[in-house]
């Protein structure tokens, strides 16, 4: 037994030693491998050659090498193109999308936004009301785009006739897309048009028709030979003279298709309808805009169909920043050969873009912080310093927001300035980011290829300017962007990361009461603040309970100034903070600004009869001793002609304009979803506030449900509802609220009723489309108008 224990002990000892030996062997192997990898010579692939030749040039040089191409019959006729004139329309695009989430719809909107074109989106109706297309003989839209052209083709007769008449009368064109799917017919005629569609095809070898009238940015050229992506392309066929092909391609299959004509025939994938069939010009795409050439043609189509009203100049400016020129780790920094390549590429690009110059960003602390070869590269950069533009980071490359001490921040900037001045170049401050240009030099390859590609396929004229001059040029082109647009820093991780840890977006309001003025917004504000879970902003010493942030000079004070008007919520999920500023409703810049900072906010608009609202505003101005209101009757104000004094027309505008409710609500619906908007019936709020407040609580989703029946009491002396105090005593708004005015003159009421009739009908149609209940005053107004 003792012998067995001794043998077992020896075996266990040997096993432990074996495991220990294996561990030591693994560690030595890993150390050897790390040493070998870090010290072995790096295999560096040669950088790729930049894009060089244009497809059309190559094809022309190889003339006679390939079989002839057959053009569709509709390309050989002379065209009589009617000049586009939609000058009686607003420069706005109406976009009909399949849904708010559809990919093509989002791509269309992205192009419109990047071009700074105004637009309005609607879910494409197959039945139901068309949005309002005109207002007082002025068209609301200069162009109509259908994500799915079949939604246009299959419109019910009433809406189709309405839209076509609008397009004919105002010279408005239509862009439509047909994207085939597995359920699409292989061949079919487009309903109501002399045009046939052949779908689910594989295509290759794209061509641009140089005779297409719409070409502007796109330069006619032959695309590099090869298949187009996907097998879901649609081509168009027609013998009618109204259709001009824009883009053409061959079928992938070598077999001739009977309905498509002979093999090697070119088939139109994008066609331009010149309006010879029904007086409406259109551009139809046989696919989406994912393919790069479709994006160019889409932009050209917008320019052509709007008579160049929605169009950017062919002059484009280019600036390339090379960020962190000294900051890279050893082994990634620029060597002498990399600097030579940078200079060589800059010289090449200067032959294509006059005065092209790379803009180098630096942090002086990291100068000479690489290998010996890389330090020589730093020296060469400075030897050629006058051949580049420069912009600074912080001295130590630390992000400015991380400095909590202003003096330390200033010292970092001073050190970098000293580095720049001795003996380096004067610096223009202009900050962007781009990867280092050492090693693989993909930056050089990318920009040389890009510039050559743009010049090959577009008519764009590339130029460059030093950073500060370029900034000035940008604001000359887009002057409206000189004003900031504050966005919610908590909706973008990058912004939140650089925001102070002491700040929180929880202080931003969850809903807005936007007005308009003189509709009862002060009463609504007081009722809302009675709710235990609802909190208003702190009062302003200038504008009292209204902050008036989004509509005027306060906006330039920034979001910190705005948030200081709100307390820290005790419970983020259940506390509802809000602000009321009644002139938000009809101030055009407010919806865009509000949606940028508060995209998830809910919006309350309080509407009364616009005739009564106009009269109340006039009386409000009289009470505030406005000399124009005191010296003119209300009838004189609202009926004043264009020859009246500027002061009188200003009062007329402030009396009448806010009452065109539908127009202003449409502005809000450009930036907010319909489900975020709630229309409060101002007349019902005055007569039955508890009922209205119950509806508002349901819309906001606030808890607990507050009993306004018990919280409010009617004050017979004031003639309106007030807060109920202990013992049933009322606490009402001040003397300036709920004033009683003399009756409006009957002829003035009749004039304004006629003035607002069409606007009220537009509001009726809008609320029906949104599924919102009609205010009692609107229903009564339309009924009395119909009866009369």
Residue pLDDT, tens place only, 745-765: 999 999 999 999 999 999 999
Q: Quote the pLDDT of residue 544.
A: 87
Task: Give φ, ψ of 265 to 5 degrees.
Answer: -85, 140
Least confident of 184-198, 245-259, 319-333: 245-259
Q: Quote the pLDDT of residue 736.
A: 65
- pLDDT exceeds cutoff 60 at 529: yes
**Centroid of chain to Cα 493:** 19
Query: Mean pLDDT throughout 270-274?
Result: 96
Tell me how far CA of residue 693 lies from CA of 83, 516, 698, in angstroms: 55, 18, 9
This prediction has a pTM of 0.76
Q: Quote the pLDDT of residue 569.
A: 87
Pairing of strands 712-715, 677-681: unpaired
- pLDDT exceeds cutoff 80 at 766: yes
Burial class of residue 202, CB neighbours in 10 A (0-12, 13-18, 19+): middle
Q: Quote the pLDDT of residue 412.
A: 75
Structure token digits, residue 761: 């009908």
Pairing of strands 92-97, 118-123: parallel
Residues in the chain, total:
788
768's enclosing H/E stretch is: helix 746-770
CA distance 376 to 333: 11
Residue owning tokens 């330069």: 219
Long-range pairs for 664-669: beta carbons < 8 A, 24 or more residues apart: 664/516, 664/585, 664/586, 665/605, 665/763, 665/766, 666/120, 666/132, 666/766, 667/588, 667/591, 668/514, 668/591, 668/603, 668/605
Residue owning tokens 């005629």: 189
| Span 37-77, pLDDT tens digits | 455 444 345 556 666 666 544 343 334 444 444 555 554 45
Cβ(252)–Cβ(202) under 8 Å? yes
Query: Mean pLDDT throughout 321-328?
Result: 85
Cβ(145)–Cβ(111) under 8 Å? no
Cβ(410)–Cβ(416) under 8 Å? no
Q: Which of 183, 194, 265 is nearest to 232 (CA)?
A: 183
Averaged pLDDT of the chain: 85
Cβ(635)–Cβ(744) under 8 Å? no
Tell me how far CA of residue 45 lies from CA of 39, 313, 438, in angstroms: 18, 40, 13
- pLDDT exceeds cutoff 60 at 235: yes
Strand partners, 681: 607
Query: Mean pLDDT throughout 395-409?
Result: 71
Predicted confidence band at 438 (pLDDT cuts at 50, 70, 90)?
A: low
Q: Quote the pLDDT of residue 161.
A: 94
Burial class of residue 702, CB neighbours in 10 A (0-12, 13-18, 19+): buried
Task: Give φ, ψ of 513 to 5 degrees.
Answer: -100, 110
Cβ(250)–Cβ(264) under 8 Å? yes
| Span 545-583, pLDDT tens digits | 999 999 999 999 999 999 999 999 888 878 999 999 999
Query: Mean pLDDT throughout 407-429?
Result: 61
Structure token digits, residue 87: 């000058």
Query: Mean pLDDT throughout 523-552?
Result: 94
Q: Pick the residue with more confidence: 657 or 68?
A: 657
Q: Quote the pLDDT of residue 734.
A: 73
- pLDDT exceeds cutoff 60 at 531: yes
Cβ(159)–Cβ(153) under 8 Å? no
CA distance 669 to 304: 28
Count Cβ atoms below 10 Å from residue 336 Cβ, excluding itself: 15
Cβ(665)–Cβ(677) under 8 Å? yes
- pLDDT exceeds cutoff 90 at 344: yes
CA distance 241 to 80: 9
Q: At what angle do helices 661-671 and 746-770 cross, to 10 degrees?
A: 30
Predicted confidence band at 429 (pLDDT cuts at 50, 70, 90)?
A: very low
Q: Pick the residue with more confidence: 695 or 21?
A: 695
Q: Pick the residue with more confidence: 52 or 269?
A: 269
Taking CA 246 as the corner, what is the angle to CA 50 and CA 87, rounded to the nearest 5 degrees? Answer: 110
How many contiguous H segments (helices) and E segments (strands) does the chain have?
25, 26
CA distance 589 to 671: 11
Q: Pick the residue with more confidence: 454 or 303?
A: 303
- pLDDT exceeds cutoff 70 at 372: yes
| Span 456-478, pLDDT tens digits | 899 999 999 998 898 898 888 88
CA distance 740 to 719: 9
Cβ(124)–Cβ(156) under 8 Å? no
* Positions marked catalytic: 518
Q: Which residues contact 111 (CB under 8 A, 6 or more apart)?
A: 289, 295, 298, 299
Taking CA 380 as the corner, what is the angle to CA 379 and CA 384, rounded to the nearest 5 degrees? Answer: 120
Least confident of 92-96, 136-140, 152-156: 136-140
Strand partners, 392: 362
CA distance 8 to 3: 9
Q: Which residues contact 404 (CB under 8 A, 6 or more apart)?
A: none
């Amino acid at each position: 037994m003792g012998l067995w224990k001794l043998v077992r002990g020896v075996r266990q000892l040997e096993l432990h030693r074996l495991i220990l030996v294996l561990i030591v062997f693994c560690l030595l192997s890993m150390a050897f491998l790390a040493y070998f990898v870090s010290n072995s010579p790096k295999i560096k692939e040669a950088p790729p050659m930049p894009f060089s030749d244009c497809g059309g040039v190559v094809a022309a040089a190889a003339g006679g090498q390939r079989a002839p191409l057959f053009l569709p019959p509709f390309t050989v006729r002379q065209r009589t193109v009617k000049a586009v004139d939609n000058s009686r329309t607003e420069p706005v695009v109406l976009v009909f999308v399949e849904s708010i989430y559809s990919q093509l719809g989002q791509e269309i909107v992205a192009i419109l936004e990047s071009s700074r074109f105004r637009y309005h989106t609607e879910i494409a109706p197959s039945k139901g009301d068309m949005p309002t297309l005109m207002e007082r003989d002025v068209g609301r839209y200069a162009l109509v785009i259908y994500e799915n052209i079949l939604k246009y083709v299959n419109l019910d007769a009433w809406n189709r006739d309405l839209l076509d008449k609008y397009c004919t009368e105002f010279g408005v064109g239509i862009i439509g897309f047909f994207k085939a799917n597995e359920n699409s017919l292989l061949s079919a005629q487009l309903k109501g048009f002399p045009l046939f569609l052949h779908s689910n095809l594989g295509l290759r070898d794209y061509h641009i028709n140089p005779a297409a009238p719409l070409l502007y940015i796109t330069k006619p050229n032959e695309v590099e030979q090869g298949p187009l992506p996907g097998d879901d392309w649609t081509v168009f066929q027609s013998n009618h003279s109204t259709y001009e092909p824009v883009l053409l391609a061959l079928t992938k299959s070598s077999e001739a298709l009977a309905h498509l004509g002979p093999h090697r025939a070119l088939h139109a994938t994008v066609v331009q309808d010149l309006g010879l069939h029904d007086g409406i010009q259109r551009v139809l795409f046989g696919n989406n805009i994912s393919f790069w050439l479709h994006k160019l043609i889409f932009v050209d189509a917008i320019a052509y169909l709007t008579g160049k009203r929605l169009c950017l100049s062919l002059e484009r400016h280019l600036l390339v920043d090379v960020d962190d020129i000294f900051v890279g780790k050893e082994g990634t920094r620029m060597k002498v050969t990399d600097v030579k390549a940078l200079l060589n590429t800059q010289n090449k690009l200067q032959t294509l873009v006059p005065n092209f110059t790379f803009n180098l960003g630096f942090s002086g602390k990291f100068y000479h912080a690489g290998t010996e070869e890389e330090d020589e590269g730093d020296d060469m950069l400075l030897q050629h310093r006058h051949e580049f533009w420069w912009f600074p980071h912080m001295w130590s490359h630390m992000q400015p927001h991380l400095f909590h001490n202003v003096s330390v921040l200033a010292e970092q900037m001073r050190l970098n300035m000293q580095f720049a001045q001795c003996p380096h170049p004067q610096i223009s401050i202009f900050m962007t980011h781009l990867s280092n240009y050492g090693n693989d030099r993909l930056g050089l390859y990318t920009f040389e290829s890009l510039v050559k590609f743009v010049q090959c396929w577009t008519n764009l004229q590339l130029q460059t300017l030093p950073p500060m001059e370029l900034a000035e040029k940008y604001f000359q082109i887009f002057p409206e962007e000189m004003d900031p647009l504050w966005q919610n820093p908590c909706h973008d991780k990058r912004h939140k990361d650089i925001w102070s840890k002491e700040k929180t977006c929880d202080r931003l309001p969850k809903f807005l009461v936007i007005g308009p003025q003189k509709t009862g917004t002060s009463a609504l504000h007081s009722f809302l603040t009675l709710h235990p879970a609802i909190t208003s902003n702190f009062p302003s010493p200038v504008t009292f309970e209204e902050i008036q942030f989004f509509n005027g000079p306060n906006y330039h004070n920034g979001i910190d100034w705005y948030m200081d008007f709100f307390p820290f919520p005790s419970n983020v999920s259940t506390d509802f903070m809000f602000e009321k500023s009644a002139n938000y409703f009809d101030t055009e810049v407010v919806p865009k600004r509000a949606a940028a900072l508060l995209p998830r906010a809910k919006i309350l608009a309080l509407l009364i009869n616009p005739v009564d609202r106009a009269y109340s505003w006039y009386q409000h101005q009289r009470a505030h001793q406005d000399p124009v209101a005191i010296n003119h009757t209300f009838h004189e104000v609202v009926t004043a002609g264009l020859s009246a004094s500027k002061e009188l027309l200003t009062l007329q505008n402030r009396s009448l304009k806010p009452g065109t409710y539908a127009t202003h609500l449409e502005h809000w619906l450009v930036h907010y979803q319909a489900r975020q908007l709630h229309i409060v019936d101002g007349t019902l709020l005055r007569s039955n506030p508890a009922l209205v407040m119950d509806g508002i609580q349901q819309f906001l989703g606030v808890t607990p449900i507050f009993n306004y029946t018990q919280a409010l009491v009617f004050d017979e002396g004031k003639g309106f509802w007030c807060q109920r105090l202990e013992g049933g005593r009322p606490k009402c708004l001040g003397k300036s609220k709920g004033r009683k005015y003399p009756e409006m003159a009957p002829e003035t009421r009749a004039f304004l009723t006629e003035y607002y009739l069409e606007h009220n009908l537009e509001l009726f149609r809008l609320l029906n489309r949104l599924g919102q209940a009609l205010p009692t005053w609107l229903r009564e107004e339309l009924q009395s108008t119909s009866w009369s």
